[in-house]
Amino acid sequence: MTTRYLIFEDGTVFAGEGFGAPAVTFGEVVFNTSMTGYQEIITNQIYDNQILVFAQPNIGSYGIQRNNYETIVPTIKGVVVRSLSNVATNNVRRLTLDQYLKQMNIPGITNIDTRAVIHKLRDAEKPLKGSIVPVPDDHAFDQLHATVLTNQQVAQVATPKPYPNPGIGLSIVVVDFGLKNGILRELSRRKCNVTVLPYNATADEILRLDPDGVVLSSGPGNPNSIKKSVLEMIQTVQTKVPLFAIGLGHELFGIANGAKVMRYAVEHHGMNHPLKEIITDHIVYANQGGGYAIDPQTVDRNKLFITYTDMIDNTIQGLRHRQYPAFSVQFFPDGAPGPDETDGLFDEFLDMIRRKEARR
Amino acid sequence: MANSAIKSVLIIGPGANDIQHGDELDAATYQMALTFKRLGIRTILADDNPFSFSLDNRSVIDHACIGPLNVENLVNLIKHYHPHAILPTLGNRRAFELTQELLEKGILQECDLKLLGIPEATIRQINNPVLLSRTLHKMEAPMKSVVTVSNYPDALSEARKLGYPVIIRSVLPKSSSTRRIVHDEHELAPAVQSCLSQSRAEQVLVQQSLAGYKEIEVVVQRDLSGTMMMLSMVEDMDPIGIHAGDSIAFNPPQTLLDRQIQDMRDTAFAITRKLRIVGVNHVQFALDPESGKFYVIKNSPYFDRIVSFVAQSTGYPIADVSAQLYAGKRLRDIDLGPNYAPHAALIEPAMDHIAARVPVWGFSAIPSASRVLGTEKKSIGTVFGIGRSTIEALFKAIESRYQEPTDFHLAAQKKLTDDELIVKLVHPETGRLFVLIEAMDRGYSVEELSEMTKIDPYYFVQINQMRLLIREITDNPNKEPVLIKAKGYGLSNQLIARLWKTTPHRIYQMLVDHGLTIKYKEVEPSAGEFDQHTNIFYSAFEDENEGTKTAQPSALIVGTGSLRLGLSNAGDYFVTQMMQELRHEGYHIVIVNTNPSSISLCHDLSDKRYIEPPTLENIVQLLKVEQPQLLFIPASYDQLLAGLAKVDLGCRLIVLPDDRLPRMDGRATKMVAFNYVYDGDYAYPLGTMTNLLSPEQLNYQSTALRYPAEVPNYLFQKVSDEASDTVMKQDHPGLYQVIFVATDDEYHQLGLQPLPLPEVAFLSKVLQISLPGVYTQLLTGKMTAGTVMNSLKQAADPGVVTYRATFPFKALHVANGVPAFNKIIGARMQFLTKHY
């Protein structure tokens, strides 16, 4: 392995050894404290534009497994680890993390003091731009400073064309903002007949498919960068069919109903925060990741009520509409990776649909 | 809150240390009692372990009751102290059995005692595997299949359904050895026949074999309101078939997929909820790596070595939190204090390091025991290492086994013939890791070895990397990049020096010349997300240093490491008492230890803890960082002491007397010991002890003692004067005993020796005085004649007290084991006169 460097816009340099693709990339550097599921995390599209630092030091210990992709073409900008294990134990097709990242043209860097990097990110209290480079010279820093990260992330990662994921149960339209396979997996498990539509599908296009319910998927980036027509779509669809929104979808659902989002000082990615379900007072754990949350000051209590909060940072983690059968969560109820304790939300969504149909 | 009425609790202690437990229960008891104290709950501790630290802490334990762990004694204590509740989770399975006996006698109802942590029905289920498996089946928890049949044809058809190998066992067996592993139909008929004939019910069980599956240990906790969280998952490197306690183990798991982890988590939660457990629960699973199916194999809702390993390796204070849960607090109401983030008790531990735990054996004291590993535990202790990679953690763990360093084992394997090697691969023995390294060196592939041993290929990739690293170092003497790499993987200077045929000092000098310094990282349960501090540190060759100098004055203490035969936990007892006295005298305490069960690692007893192998380079480095005034090293760490002798320490070195085995040993005659504290001027008598006659062996056993000795009046003064004269001739102050061979009318002086640590612990409890504390005062010059005399005077007359050592002969299947001091694994003591 060759020496490569993780550099930051403030001039900090961490030396390590390169793996994966030898490409030079730029991105916001964020960290994830999950103890499991590196493959699912790397292939989550929320990391478009981001370089991810794993807190768990040993990454790659079972290679790449065919059932653990959260997308086929991940667009994460880089993977930073302390100890890469170049192992492939998949019996079917042997692929190491290193080989996989090479195939996907994603650079990795190992033997980095990731705890030091995480301390830096935690204390910076604002997202830091960074780059993985072969030489940490002036040129590299110039390029890093000059880089403007795109805000058209959803357009980059979402499907441009509709596609079906047929089933024999309820008909669900999933609007793809950077879909995580876990959502489809949970719907498949419940036999749903799914059609995935591009993020810019109009209310008309959605309703023309006569769905029983609509899911707004998770995805990358700032919800304010998404065009207004998407909000209009949500405003119309929520009045017609049951709606379940996740991650970025949840943020858009909030904005469509008058709320505003705020950016975390330090992004939270992990699966160990206690989340309180307000109505039952139960505490659950779930996979969380992202840089934005709904600002509680801006929630119109006549339209929305808060269903979940994060007990550590007090952020809103779930909303429900007062008039319409529509609800949303900030975290990933599909796990992959992470606890299953909130996967019942998919059942709740389908029950909501069935109740509505029974009333007809 | 539901349990707010609880004002006092009876804790059933664990009793003598044995092969199943060291002082992790003592540590958890102490920690929990401290929390109870803060909550205003009085504690009554029943235990008979002379090496217990908790029993000596009357400022923490309100009523330390030394007495036998039986129902009669517990009933007496209940009637005497009227506790509001009883806690069965700090005394192993035995405490569950005793609690059930109390339930069945109606004592708990009669005295209106609440059960803490475990409901009555769950106590019964933990004590009765049939009841428990019925509950687990009902809730559809995955369990191994077991079918009862009464003839061969039925056994055959069940075995075919299950697939071989299967296990055949007798129902209600007439003798104990009725378990057969059957690999094919040829073996089935005789096994069924033999087990049928051994069964009182003329029935046999046909049971699915889980041998070869991965063994996973999950630690979860639950509060009264039903909130549950997972604290850790620990993966054993060795498959089922080798006892989990004898396997190398890792926290976090190294080879598990998220799906597998979540499924086991869900099941552990479901069981914990079903059994309505409050506090910790330890659930063990077998995972079939081929199919991904898993099975619940054991549920232990009490403190044990895994729980302490999890607490030490994550920095999550499990015992404190459990005590608050038992007291009726909810997890959301628990405040861990200023060193933790708000609601940190609710944050599932995340780790940015890897902890590897390795077993420690006792075969040097009991060479006749078989070293072949199986389903019964053989290791007597454990140590762990922390690193930032699997390999680093493993190298450090191995280096922490002071008596069995890496280089010795690597060299030994070279002598094996190929046939011997194969035998050792298929029938694993202690020191297995080195056999695996050797096998890879001889060209076995990862696939072959994984197939033969059922160890996940991941570990062979790691082992191969270790092997290649050792080779790379050997082939590149004195090369800086190789040195950097080796240090990054946690190799000791000692091992590198051996490979380079030079001295550890030379390696150290190279590191200094190249400006390569050790950094320290903190073990902290949020993996860097929050600014939290546990004051547990480990070394790393990385960028950032989190270590700082502890406030002065300070004492750097190297603990006595794993439980060992001969000393049992008397070393930990001594060190911890010493720490308390030093703290009392104003020293800040820095402890170095790698035994996750050790009470010396309790966070309330020191200012800082280093999980570091006790090697010369580590201690020299810590002296630089900490600049203590006092340095304590166990005498048994002779190589370390020899190395330190050549170094300018800049502080006072004190050798802990953990290597002295009593002179009385091996003699079958009656002996009497006169014990003293000697301050350089005067010898203060601590009373006498004598060895006891064994009714079975008809000789005197030096491992069974009685306080005081019955010395005839007419002889006492004369012998006592002779003894104190001998003590007063000593050059150094200390704790001494003078031993006499006693015949009917004559006492012949055999000699003087420092008081052995097990006897220091025993006498401290007899006299209710901290002799390690007195010893510390002798060293620091703080001892005054008045204090000692007063303490001795104040102590109530203990009456007659006995001490009986216990031995691991039965556990290790050693027939006709001869008790001896160097084979002691634990001990019991008893006041023969009523004593509360």
What is the dotted CATH code of the domain comprising A3-149?
A: 3.50.30.20
Average pLDDT over residues A291-312: 97
Strand intervals (E) in A137-246? 163-165, 171-176, 193-198, 213-216, 243-246
Residue B515: its pLDDT value, please? Answer: 87
To 10 degrees, what angle do helices B771-780 and B570-584 make? 50
Average pLDDT over residues B304-323: 97
Q: Which of A89, A118, A337 sits opposite B458 (nearest CB)?
A: A89
Of the listed ranges A79-83, B261-265, B805-809, the least confidently predicted one is B805-809
Rg (CA), chain A: 20
Residue B463: its pLDDT value, please? Answer: 92
Average pLDDT over residues B371-376: 89
CA distance B813 to B369: 7
pTM score, whole prediction: 0.96
CA distance B380 to B17: 10
For residue A304, what are the CA distances in angstroms to A217, A255, A350, B83?
A: 19, 11, 20, 51
Q: Among B84, B87, B88, which residue's Cα sits nearest to residue B111?
A: B84
Residue in the block written with tokens 């069935």 = A354
Q: How many CB atoms lie within 10 A of CB B219?
A: 26
Give me the domains of chain B, ranges plus CATH numbers.
8-116 (3.40.50.20), 146-208 (3.30.1490.20), 214-351 (3.30.470.20), 402-519 (1.10.1030.10), 526-656 (3.40.50.20), 671-831 (3.30.470.20)
Chain A residues inside the 8 Å CB shell of B227: 274, 282-283
Put simply, the answer to whether A85 touches B350 (Cβ < 8 Å) is: no
CA distance B609 to B85: 34
Amino acid at A191: K
* Average model confidence (pLDDT) across chain A: 95
Put simply, the answer to whether B350 touches A14 (Cβ < 8 Å) is: no
How far the first Cα of chain A sits from its last, in Å, is 64
> How does pLDDT run across B676-715, given as a tens digit for each residue?
999 999 999 999 999 887 766 667 777 889 999 999 999 9
Q: Among B58, B42, B60, B47, which residue's Cα sits nearest to residue B21?
A: B47
Put simply, the answer to whether B527 touches A55 (Cβ < 8 Å) is: yes
For residue B404, what are the CA distances in angstroms to A240, B41, B227, B360?
A: 72, 44, 44, 9
> How does pLDDT run across A77-99, given as a tens digit for each residue?
999 999 999 888 755 558 999 99
Put simply, the answer to whether B229 touches A285 (Cβ < 8 Å) is: yes
How far the first Cα of chain B sits from its last, in Å, is 32
DSSP state of A92: S
- Interface with chain B: mutation pick from A35, A52, A180, highest number of B CBs within 10 Å: A35
Residue in the block written with tokens 């190395």 = B643
CA distance A188 to A167: 7
Q: Which residues pair with A78 in a beta bridge?
A: A51
Which distant-in-sequence residues (6+ apart) come within 8 Å of B697 by Cβ?
none
Strand intervals (E) in A167-247? 171-176, 193-198, 213-216, 243-246
Residue B181: its pLDDT value, please? Answer: 86
Put simply, the answer to whether A33 touches B349 (Cβ < 8 Å) is: no
CA distance A58 to A61: 7
CA distance B578 to B593: 15
Q: Which of A14, A62, A274 sits opposite B458 (nearest CB)?
A: A62
Q: How many CB atoms lie within 10 A of CB B541?
A: 20
CA distance B431 to B409: 8
Q: How confident is the model at residue B255 (pLDDT cuts 50, 70, 90)?
A: very high
Put simply, the answer to whether A36 touches B227 (Cβ < 8 Å) is: no
Average pLDDT over residues B5-11: 93
The B residues from 207 to 266 touching A (CB cutoff 8 Å) are 225-227, 229, 252, 254-259, 261-262, 265-266
> How does pLDDT run across B194-219, given as a tens digit for each residue?
899 888 889 999 999 999 999 999 99
Q: Is the pLDDT of residue B1 over 50?
A: no
Q: Is the pLDDT of residue B385 over 50?
A: yes
For residue B832, the SS3 value is coil
Sorted by where each begins, the domain ranges of chain A are: 3-149, 154-359
CA distance B611 to B589: 14
Measured in angstroms, the CA of B399 and the nearest CA of chain A are apart by: 21
The B residues from 384 to 403 touching A (CB cutoff 8 Å) are 388-390
Q: Residue B766 corresponds to which tokens in the numbers above?
A: 């007899």
Of residues B176 and A305, the one with the higher pLDDT is: A305
Amino acid at B96: F
Q: How confident is the model at residue B407 (pLDDT cuts 50, 70, 90)?
A: low
> How does pLDDT run across B146-199, given as a tens digit for each residue?
889 999 999 999 999 998 989 998 888 887 667 788 989 999 999 999 899 888
Q: Which residues pair with B684 in a beta bridge?
A: B677
Measured in angstroms, the CA of B445 and the nearest CA of chain A are apart by: 14
Put simply, the answer to whether B389 touches A82 (Cβ < 8 Å) is: yes
Measured in angstroms, the CA of A211 and the nearest CA of chain B are apart by: 31
The B residues from 433 to 472 touching A (CB cutoff 8 Å) are 456-458, 461-462
Put simply, the answer to whether A338 touches B262 (Cβ < 8 Å) is: yes
ipTM of the complex: 0.97
Average pLDDT over residues A140-152: 94
Residue B2: its pLDDT value, please? Answer: 46
Architecture of domain A154-359: 3-Layer(aba) Sandwich (3.40)
Chain B residues inside the 8 Å CB shell of A344: none
- Helix, strand, coil percentages for chain B (3-state, nearest 5): 35, 25, 40
Put simply, the answer to whether A55 touches B352 (Cβ < 8 Å) is: yes
Put simply, the answer to whether B544 touches A111 (Cβ < 8 Å) is: no
CA-nearest residue of chain A to B352? A56
Measured in angstroms, the CA of A96 and the nearest CA of chain B are apart by: 12
Task: Tell me how long chain B is.
Answer: 836
Put simply, the answer to whether B352 touches A85 (Cβ < 8 Å) is: no
CA dihedral B547, B551, B557, B563 (to 10 degrees): -70
Average pLDDT over residues B459-475: 93
Of the listed ranges A47-51, A149-153, B553-557, the least confidently predicted one is A149-153
Put simply, the answer to whether B350 touches A34 (Cβ < 8 Å) is: yes
